[in-house]
Amino acid sequence: MLTYQRGFFCGDLSIRYPYHECTITVPMLLVCMLLLPMLFLGVVEIMRLCHNFRLRQYLRNTSLSLGCFSFGFIATYLSTELAKNVVRRLRPHFYMACRPQLNDGSTCDDPKNRNLFVEQYYCSNRNLSARQLRELYVSFPSAHSSLSFYAMLFLAFYLHAIWRGGRGVNRVLRHLLQFLFLSLAWFISLSRVADYWHHWSDVMAGAVMGIIYATLTAIYVGRFLSYYTSSSASSAISPHHHHHQQQQQQHHINKQSCLHQTSNKLKASLKHHQHVGSSTVSFQPSQQQQHTLSHEPTPPPQQ
Protein backbone atom coordinates (compact mmCIF):
# COMPACT_ATOMS: atom_id res chain seq x y z
CA MET A 1 0.00 0.00 0.00
CA LEU A 2 1.47 3.31 -1.10
CA THR A 3 0.45 6.71 0.20
CA TYR A 4 0.45 9.78 -2.08
CA GLN A 5 0.08 13.45 -1.21
CA ARG A 6 -1.82 14.46 -4.35
CA GLY A 7 -5.13 15.44 -2.88
CA PHE A 8 -8.64 15.38 -4.32
CA PHE A 9 -12.22 16.17 -3.37
CA CYS A 10 -14.36 13.19 -2.62
CA GLY A 11 -17.20 14.78 -4.56
CA ASP A 12 -15.08 15.38 -7.68
CA LEU A 13 -16.93 13.60 -10.49
CA SER A 14 -14.14 14.17 -13.03
CA ILE A 15 -12.08 11.35 -11.48
CA ARG A 16 -14.93 8.84 -11.12
CA TYR A 17 -15.15 7.59 -14.70
CA PRO A 18 -15.01 3.84 -15.39
CA TYR A 19 -11.78 2.15 -16.37
CA HIS A 20 -11.32 1.11 -20.02
CA GLU A 21 -8.42 -0.41 -21.89
CA CYS A 22 -6.50 1.90 -24.21
CA THR A 23 -7.55 2.06 -27.84
CA ILE A 24 -4.01 3.15 -28.76
CA THR A 25 -1.50 1.36 -26.56
CA VAL A 26 2.06 2.56 -25.96
CA PRO A 27 3.61 0.05 -28.43
CA MET A 28 1.08 1.12 -31.06
CA LEU A 29 1.96 4.76 -30.38
CA LEU A 30 5.69 4.11 -30.81
CA VAL A 31 5.10 2.27 -34.08
CA CYS A 32 2.83 4.99 -35.49
CA MET A 33 4.75 8.02 -34.22
CA LEU A 34 8.36 6.84 -34.25
CA LEU A 35 9.04 3.91 -36.57
CA LEU A 36 6.64 4.83 -39.39
CA PRO A 37 7.81 8.47 -39.60
CA MET A 38 11.43 7.32 -39.76
CA LEU A 39 10.54 4.85 -42.51
CA PHE A 40 8.66 7.60 -44.34
CA LEU A 41 11.68 9.92 -44.18
CA GLY A 42 13.97 7.21 -45.56
CA VAL A 43 11.64 6.41 -48.47
CA VAL A 44 11.19 10.07 -49.39
CA GLU A 45 14.95 10.63 -49.42
CA ILE A 46 15.28 7.74 -51.89
CA MET A 47 12.62 9.32 -54.11
CA ARG A 48 14.46 12.64 -54.06
CA LEU A 49 17.61 11.03 -55.48
CA CYS A 50 16.00 8.46 -57.77
CA HIS A 51 17.23 10.17 -60.97
CA ASN A 52 20.76 10.70 -59.69
CA PHE A 53 21.18 8.28 -56.78
CA ARG A 54 24.38 8.57 -54.81
CA LEU A 55 24.78 6.51 -51.65
CA ARG A 56 26.84 9.11 -49.81
CA GLN A 57 24.33 11.87 -50.54
CA TYR A 58 21.44 9.61 -49.52
CA LEU A 59 23.06 8.67 -46.22
CA ARG A 60 23.85 12.31 -45.51
CA ASN A 61 20.31 13.54 -46.23
CA THR A 62 18.70 10.66 -44.34
CA SER A 63 20.90 11.08 -41.29
CA LEU A 64 20.14 14.80 -41.16
CA SER A 65 16.38 14.25 -41.47
CA LEU A 66 16.29 11.42 -38.93
CA GLY A 67 18.55 13.31 -36.55
CA CYS A 68 16.34 16.38 -36.72
CA PHE A 69 13.18 14.33 -36.15
CA SER A 70 14.71 12.33 -33.29
CA PHE A 71 15.97 15.46 -31.54
CA GLY A 72 12.51 17.01 -31.44
CA PHE A 73 10.85 13.73 -30.51
CA ILE A 74 13.15 13.21 -27.52
CA ALA A 75 12.74 16.84 -26.44
CA THR A 76 8.95 16.52 -26.59
CA TYR A 77 8.98 13.26 -24.62
CA LEU A 78 11.27 14.58 -21.88
CA SER A 79 9.25 17.78 -21.49
CA THR A 80 6.02 15.78 -21.26
CA GLU A 81 7.41 13.39 -18.66
CA LEU A 82 8.77 16.30 -16.63
CA ALA A 83 5.34 17.94 -16.55
CA LYS A 84 3.66 14.65 -15.63
CA ASN A 85 5.89 14.06 -12.64
CA VAL A 86 5.66 17.66 -11.44
CA VAL A 87 1.88 18.18 -11.77
CA ARG A 88 0.80 14.60 -10.92
CA ARG A 89 -2.81 15.13 -11.97
CA LEU A 90 -5.23 12.28 -11.32
CA ARG A 91 -6.65 10.40 -14.28
CA PRO A 92 -10.40 10.36 -14.98
CA HIS A 93 -10.64 6.71 -13.87
CA PHE A 94 -8.56 7.26 -10.73
CA TYR A 95 -11.30 6.56 -8.20
CA MET A 96 -12.53 3.37 -9.87
CA ALA A 97 -9.01 1.97 -10.31
CA CYS A 98 -7.55 3.04 -6.98
CA ARG A 99 -10.57 2.78 -4.67
CA PRO A 100 -8.95 5.17 -2.18
CA GLN A 101 -9.37 4.61 1.53
CA LEU A 102 -8.73 7.25 4.15
CA ASN A 103 -6.40 6.74 7.07
CA ASP A 104 -9.34 6.47 9.46
CA GLY A 105 -10.70 3.55 7.46
CA SER A 106 -13.54 5.47 5.83
CA THR A 107 -14.06 6.08 2.13
CA CYS A 108 -15.38 8.90 -0.02
CA ASP A 109 -18.71 7.10 -0.25
CA ASP A 110 -19.43 7.97 3.35
CA PRO A 111 -21.81 10.95 3.55
CA LYS A 112 -19.56 12.72 6.03
CA ASN A 113 -16.70 12.79 3.50
CA ARG A 114 -18.71 13.98 0.50
CA ASN A 115 -17.18 17.49 0.39
CA LEU A 116 -13.91 16.57 2.08
CA PHE A 117 -10.54 17.33 0.49
CA VAL A 118 -8.42 14.21 1.02
CA GLU A 119 -4.63 14.26 1.12
CA GLN A 120 -3.76 11.22 3.23
CA TYR A 121 -5.07 8.00 1.72
CA TYR A 122 -3.98 4.77 0.11
CA CYS A 123 -5.26 2.65 -2.76
CA SER A 124 -7.20 -0.35 -1.48
CA ASN A 125 -7.09 -2.11 -4.85
CA ARG A 126 -4.35 -4.67 -4.30
CA ASN A 127 -4.44 -5.86 -7.90
CA LEU A 128 -2.57 -2.76 -9.07
CA SER A 129 1.13 -3.09 -9.81
CA ALA A 130 3.57 -0.32 -9.01
CA ARG A 131 3.58 0.80 -12.65
CA GLN A 132 -0.21 0.84 -12.84
CA LEU A 133 -0.38 2.77 -9.60
CA ARG A 134 2.03 5.36 -10.92
CA GLU A 135 -0.01 5.70 -14.11
CA LEU A 136 -2.96 6.99 -12.10
CA TYR A 137 -1.05 10.18 -11.24
CA VAL A 138 0.34 11.24 -14.62
CA SER A 139 -2.69 12.54 -16.47
CA PHE A 140 -1.34 16.01 -17.35
CA PRO A 141 -0.28 16.48 -20.11
CA SER A 142 -1.12 13.68 -22.53
CA ALA A 143 2.00 12.04 -23.95
CA HIS A 144 -0.04 10.41 -26.70
CA SER A 145 -1.25 13.83 -27.75
CA SER A 146 2.09 15.63 -27.57
CA LEU A 147 4.08 12.93 -29.37
CA SER A 148 1.47 12.33 -32.05
CA PHE A 149 1.05 16.02 -32.85
CA TYR A 150 4.81 16.52 -32.88
CA ALA A 151 5.47 13.60 -35.23
CA MET A 152 2.62 14.29 -37.64
CA LEU A 153 3.14 18.05 -37.79
CA PHE A 154 6.86 17.50 -38.35
CA LEU A 155 6.07 15.25 -41.32
CA ALA A 156 3.63 17.87 -42.63
CA PHE A 157 6.34 20.56 -42.45
CA TYR A 158 8.88 18.22 -44.03
CA LEU A 159 6.55 17.32 -46.88
CA HIS A 160 5.71 20.98 -47.49
CA ALA A 161 9.41 21.86 -47.66
CA ILE A 162 10.61 19.19 -50.09
CA TRP A 163 7.54 18.81 -52.30
CA ARG A 164 7.22 22.09 -54.20
CA GLY A 165 6.46 23.22 -57.71
CA GLY A 166 3.54 20.86 -58.18
CA ARG A 167 0.17 21.93 -59.49
CA GLY A 168 -3.12 20.21 -59.96
CA VAL A 169 -3.04 16.60 -58.80
CA ASN A 170 0.41 16.83 -57.19
CA ARG A 171 -0.57 19.82 -55.09
CA VAL A 172 -3.83 18.21 -53.99
CA LEU A 173 -1.98 14.98 -53.11
CA ARG A 174 0.53 16.88 -51.00
CA HIS A 175 -2.17 18.66 -49.00
CA LEU A 176 -4.14 15.42 -48.69
CA LEU A 177 -1.17 13.67 -47.08
CA GLN A 178 -0.69 16.59 -44.71
CA PHE A 179 -4.37 16.43 -43.77
CA LEU A 180 -4.13 12.69 -43.13
CA PHE A 181 -1.08 13.17 -40.90
CA LEU A 182 -2.84 15.74 -38.72
CA SER A 183 -6.07 13.73 -38.69
CA LEU A 184 -4.19 10.72 -37.32
CA ALA A 185 -2.75 12.85 -34.52
CA TRP A 186 -6.20 14.24 -33.76
CA PHE A 187 -7.74 10.75 -33.67
CA ILE A 188 -5.13 9.45 -31.24
CA SER A 189 -5.66 12.46 -29.00
CA LEU A 190 -9.43 12.08 -28.97
CA SER A 191 -9.13 8.39 -28.13
CA ARG A 192 -7.47 9.31 -24.85
CA VAL A 193 -10.53 11.30 -23.81
CA ALA A 194 -12.94 8.64 -25.07
CA ASP A 195 -11.11 5.93 -23.09
CA TYR A 196 -11.18 8.06 -19.90
CA TRP A 197 -7.41 8.10 -19.67
CA HIS A 198 -7.11 11.88 -19.93
CA HIS A 199 -9.13 14.99 -19.32
CA TRP A 200 -9.79 17.17 -22.35
CA SER A 201 -7.43 19.82 -20.97
CA ASP A 202 -4.65 17.21 -20.77
CA VAL A 203 -5.09 16.46 -24.46
CA MET A 204 -5.17 20.13 -25.44
CA ALA A 205 -2.03 20.86 -23.44
CA GLY A 206 -0.24 17.92 -25.04
CA ALA A 207 -1.33 19.02 -28.51
CA VAL A 208 -0.07 22.56 -27.93
CA MET A 209 3.24 21.20 -26.65
CA GLY A 210 3.65 18.95 -29.70
CA ILE A 211 2.77 21.76 -32.10
CA ILE A 212 5.28 24.12 -30.48
CA TYR A 213 8.11 21.58 -30.54
CA ALA A 214 7.36 20.55 -34.12
CA THR A 215 7.33 24.18 -35.28
CA LEU A 216 10.55 25.08 -33.48
CA THR A 217 12.30 21.93 -34.70
CA ALA A 218 11.20 22.45 -38.29
CA ILE A 219 12.22 26.13 -38.41
CA TYR A 220 15.37 26.31 -36.29
CA VAL A 221 16.77 22.77 -36.37
CA GLY A 222 15.63 21.41 -39.72
CA ARG A 223 15.49 24.88 -41.32
CA PHE A 224 12.51 23.83 -43.43
CA LEU A 225 11.44 27.46 -43.78
CA SER A 226 14.75 28.39 -45.41
CA TYR A 227 14.42 25.40 -47.74
CA TYR A 228 11.06 26.72 -48.83
CA THR A 229 11.98 30.40 -49.29
CA SER A 230 15.66 30.37 -50.28
CA SER A 231 16.52 29.99 -53.93
CA SER A 232 19.87 28.51 -53.01
CA ALA A 233 18.11 25.54 -51.43
CA SER A 234 15.52 25.12 -54.15
CA SER A 235 17.40 22.15 -55.55
CA ALA A 236 16.30 20.15 -52.52
CA ILE A 237 12.65 20.97 -52.95
CA SER A 238 11.49 18.72 -55.76
CA PRO A 239 12.70 15.26 -56.78
CA HIS A 240 13.12 16.43 -60.38
CA HIS A 241 14.20 20.03 -59.79
CA HIS A 242 17.88 19.35 -59.18
CA HIS A 243 18.21 17.28 -62.35
CA HIS A 244 16.34 19.92 -64.38
CA GLN A 245 18.51 22.71 -63.00
CA GLN A 246 21.69 20.85 -63.94
CA GLN A 247 20.38 20.43 -67.48
CA GLN A 248 19.62 24.14 -67.72
CA GLN A 249 23.08 25.08 -66.47
CA GLN A 250 24.75 22.72 -68.94
CA HIS A 251 22.59 24.08 -71.77
CA HIS A 252 23.56 27.64 -70.82
CA ILE A 253 27.26 26.74 -70.81
CA ASN A 254 27.00 25.04 -74.19
CA LYS A 255 25.15 28.04 -75.61
CA GLN A 256 27.80 30.46 -74.38
CA SER A 257 30.56 28.26 -75.81
CA CYS A 258 28.79 28.10 -79.17
CA LEU A 259 28.34 31.87 -79.26
CA HIS A 260 31.99 32.37 -78.38
CA GLN A 261 33.13 30.07 -81.18
CA THR A 262 30.82 31.77 -83.68
CA SER A 263 32.13 35.18 -82.65
CA ASN A 264 35.72 34.05 -83.15
CA LYS A 265 34.90 32.68 -86.59
CA LEU A 266 33.23 35.94 -87.62
CA LYS A 267 36.20 37.96 -86.41
CA ALA A 268 38.61 35.74 -88.31
CA SER A 269 36.50 35.96 -91.48
CA LEU A 270 36.26 39.74 -91.21
CA LYS A 271 40.03 40.06 -90.82
CA HIS A 272 40.55 37.82 -93.84
CA HIS A 273 38.24 39.93 -96.05
CA GLN A 274 39.91 43.14 -94.90
CA HIS A 275 43.33 41.72 -95.74
CA VAL A 276 42.23 40.59 -99.22
CA GLY A 277 40.58 43.96 -99.92
CA SER A 278 43.66 45.93 -98.96
CA SER A 279 45.81 43.74 -101.23
CA THR A 280 43.50 44.34 -104.20
CA VAL A 281 43.61 48.09 -103.71
CA SER A 282 47.38 48.17 -103.60
CA PHE A 283 47.86 46.30 -106.91
CA GLN A 284 44.99 47.60 -109.08
CA PRO A 285 44.90 51.29 -110.15
CA SER A 286 41.81 53.29 -109.51
CA GLN A 287 39.47 54.44 -112.30
CA GLN A 288 40.91 57.99 -112.24
CA GLN A 289 44.43 56.67 -112.63
CA GLN A 290 43.30 54.48 -115.54
CA HIS A 291 41.66 57.51 -117.22
CA THR A 292 44.80 59.61 -116.78
CA LEU A 293 46.99 56.91 -118.24
CA SER A 294 44.70 56.44 -121.22
CA HIS A 295 44.90 60.21 -122.13
CA GLU A 296 48.65 60.64 -121.75
CA PRO A 297 50.35 61.61 -125.05
CA THR A 298 52.50 58.99 -126.60
CA PRO A 299 56.11 60.16 -126.92
CA PRO A 300 57.34 60.61 -130.55
CA PRO A 301 59.61 58.00 -131.94
CA GLN A 302 63.28 58.81 -131.88
CA GLN A 303 64.93 59.69 -135.17
How many Cβ atoms from other residues are within 10 Å of residue 162's Cβ? 22
Burial class (CB in 10 A: 0-12, 13-18, 19+), 98: buried
Cα 129 to Cα 116: distance, rounded to the nearest angstrom: 27
Residue 19: the pLDDT is 94
Cβ atoms of residues 224 and 218 within 8 Å: yes
Catalytic residue list: 144, 198
Helix H or strand E segment including 48: helix 36-48
Cβ atoms of residues 90 and 8 within 8 Å: yes
pTM over 0.75: no
- Give the three-state DSSP class for 297: coil
Cβ atoms of residues 210 and 76 within 8 Å: yes
Residue 166: the pLDDT is 63
Distances (CA, A) of 156 to 10, 26, 38: 44, 23, 13
> CB neighbours of 138 closer than 8 A, spacing ≥ 6?
84, 85, 88, 89, 91
Q: Which amino acid is at 238?
A: S
Cβ atoms of residues 175 and 156 within 8 Å: no
Cα 118 to Cα 101: distance, rounded to the nearest angstrom: 10
3-state secondary structure 145-198: HHHHHHHHHHHHHHHHHHCCCCCCHHHHHHHHHHHHHHHHHHHHHHHHHHCCCC
Residue 222: the pLDDT is 84
As a whole number of angstroms, the longest Cα–Cα distance in the chain is: 171
Cβ atoms of residues 236 and 227 within 8 Å: yes
100-102/117-118 β-pairing? unpaired
State the first-to-last Cα distance of the chain, in angstroms, to the nearest integer.
Answer: 161
Q: Is the peptide bond before 141 cis (omega within 30 degrees of 0)?
A: yes
Helices and strands in the chain, H and E counts: 11, 4
Average pLDDT per consecutive 10 residues, the chain (303 residues; last block may be shorter): 71 95 96 96 86 82 93 98 96 95 90 90 90 94 98 95 76 92 98 98 98 96 68 40 53 64 67 55 47 48 44
Residue 147: the pLDDT is 98
Residue 105: the pLDDT is 87
